[in-house]
Amino acid sequence: MTKEDVEEFLTKLKIAIDNHGLDVVPRDANNEALIDLKLTPSIREQIVLHLAYHDYSDGPLHDDRQQSGNVWIFGIEVDDQEIYIKLKVVELGEKKYAKCLSFHRAQYPIKYPFKQQ
């Protein structure tokens, strides 16, 4: 994976968010993260919109739960908490939709191949 590949995905994701918003899977961990971190859905969307290539961790990976599209893993720090973010762009015909499968505290340290340590 290259920096350019990650930037290309993030560009597609951000265009999809601008066009159709961010669809977040209503999992308990995702909902609890908003409460624990005192975030609104709007702030969560802004965090995703501000992801950069250096926040990349892994992907594209096959999405075991869905048939189409690959997932990409990112991480970011919010209030000294490392947040695990799993995203994908779903294509339905000509339309592209941004989907957030995970947005919660990381359960283990996230590796960042493009972040300077």
For residue range 13-56, list pLDDT tens digits in order.
999 999 999 999 888 888 888 898 899 999 999 999 999 999 99
The first and second tokens of residue 109, run together, are 């340290």
Q: Using the 8-state DSSP alphabet, how is residue 52 labeled?
A: -
Left if phi > 0, otherwise alpha if psi is -120 to 50, otherwise beta: which for 82?
beta
For residue range 73-101, list pLDDT tens digits in order.
999 999 899 999 999 999 888 889 999 99
CATH fold of 3-105 reads: YaeB-like fold (3.30.2310)
The first and second tokens of residue 93, run together, are 């015909």
pTM for the structure as a whole: 0.92
Cis peptide preceding 26, ω within 30 of 0: no
